[in-house]
Chains A and B, each alone.
Chain A
Amino acid sequence: MNNVARSVGSAADKRMKKLFAPAAVVVAAMFAYGLVLIADAPTESTMGLVQKIFYFHVPSWFAMFAAAFTCGIASLFVLIRGRKSADRVALAAAELAVVFGLIGLITGPLWGRKAWGVYWQWDAKLTSALVMWLIFVAYLLLRRYGGAGSEKLSAVVAIFGMANVPFVYWSVNLWRTVHPLTSVVPTLPPVMRGTFWWCVVMFIGLYVLLLAARVRLEKRRAELDALFLAIED
């Protein structure tokens, strides 16, 4: 009982609590100024105003991949070391991967409709992003409906998902190849590039913030369960 109570107010926890509010303010300010930057950025010559979706679309995929990577690494720790804390990080990261992926999947077709005339193209990048997103949705479904002991299982799914990335990318690439190349970013005019990287940092910041909040919530939940069991004993 004492043990449980002590872990509630650990040093790291307190430090996080202190840092969270200022970090939230910084990210909120970045988002506010980000909108100004996007509005000020030059309008693209061929696509016009729609091109501005780019500033939200690409950074949200960056955040999605950051989340996917976090989930994979944390899952390795779950499987090898059996760490409970890593499991909470993996779960939080997987949820965020699905959220940011969903932002990407909604903004993409909106842009695509204007730029290509269709909402969806079976092109390499789109298809592999959809497959990766589906793997994380499957991961969450397993966590939700797998019952007790699904943590290790989902860790294996996340690791297999990571190992699958090159295969998905290579196979889909050979199958189809309309989406702009990854080399689009360095060729952007300087003003657009600045706005773009600002948006990337702002999305990654939002991701880190949400991850921290979500991990903390999961930790609190585990502590509450432990306390509940301690009282029952």
Chain B
Amino acid sequence: MFLRTVWLVVRKDLLIEIRSREIVYTTLFFAVSCVLVFAFGFVREGRPVEDAAAGILWISIAFAGTLALGRAFERERQSETLRALMLAPVERPALYVGKLLGVLLLLAVVEAIVVPLVALMFQAPIFRHPVLMGALLATGTIGFAAVGTLFAAMLVRARSRDVLLPILLYPITIPVIIGGVRGTAALLQADVDVPMATAWLSMLAFFDVVFITLALWTFEPAMTE
């Protein structure tokens, strides 16, 4: 029943997105513009400064993620569909997981374009350790989206929700940003520091476990009016 609800929510979000492609196009364009804007700050005499690629990659993901989260829930607000979902006789945490998976799929599409783009533009050897790199991206994105989905869902009813989402989300997800950036930088530098990357990876995995558990537990009381 739980998984079925999750699947139904994901399918609903995907169907809407496939028909309009609004979020994926806008988010993707935004992420690419972010990369471009940062390039002006961190490229000196045609060469990117040290560790710039990792930072630019993660900041672009975080910014694009915030945009995607905001849009995904704005859609639920317009016709009060989030309220309709909450009224449905299903387990509330299943709704959270469904929305989270929808956001993650979107971000995966964005990353599939942005990561190779950063590798290309900043001469970053991103595919030197594909498994570790993929794991860092996955755990980091999950951690960011897990906190973001809960906050965006709660903010649906709040005033000035567009401003409040990044204000609340960034301080809480600072460990994810540090972990993602430093872990990626450890893999991209000239002498690869694998133990460092795995240390960051395990921190990110632990973050994911703790915050998904917390989100599943707080979703129901937080969303009940």
Contact = CB atoms under 8 A, between A and B. Distances in A.
Interface string B191-219: 00000000110010011001100100010
Given A135-B172, A159-B218, 14 more contacts: A80-B221, A82-B221, A141-B164, A145-B164, A147-B159, A149-B157, A156-B151, A163-B211, A163-B214, A164-B175, A167-B206, A167-B210, A170-B203, A171-B182
Given A145-B163, A157-B172, A152 B221 contact: yes
Contacts of A167: 175, 203, 206-207, 210
Contact of A145 (B157, B159, B221): B159
Contacts of B203: 167, 170-171, 174
How big is the A interface, by class?
A: 20 to 34
B171 interface: yes
Contacts of B157: 149
A163 B225 contact: no
A205 to B, nearest CB: 29
B65 interface: no
A134 interface: yes
B167 A138 contact: yes
A161 B157 CA distance: 21
How big is the B interface, by class?
A: 20 to 34
Contacts of B171: 131, 134-135, 138, 161
Contacts of A163: 210-211, 214
A174 B125 CA distance: 24
B164 A142 contact: yes
A150 B158 contact: yes
Given A160-B147, A160-B172, A171-B203, A141 B167 contact: yes
Interface of B: 147, 150-151, 154-155, 157-160, 163-164, 167-168, 171-172, 174-175, 178-179, 182, 199-200, 203, 206-207, 210-211, 214, 218, 221-222, 225
Contacts, number: 87
A138 B163 CA distance: 11
Interface of A: 79-80, 82, 131, 134-135, 138, 141-142, 145-147, 149-150, 152-153, 155-157, 159-161, 163-164, 167-168, 170-172, 174-175
Contact of B160 (A145, A152, A170): A145
Given A152-B221, A159-B218, A167-B175, A174 B159 contact: no
Q: Mostly helix, strand, loop or mixed at chain A's interface?
A: helix
Contacts of B164: 141-142, 145-146
Contacts of B155: 146, 153
Contacts of B151: 156-157
16 contacts: A134-B171, A141-B167, A142-B158, A146-B158, A146-B164, A147-B160, A156-B151, A157-B168, A160-B211, A163-B210, A164-B172, A167-B175, A170-B175, A170-B203, A171-B174, A175-B178
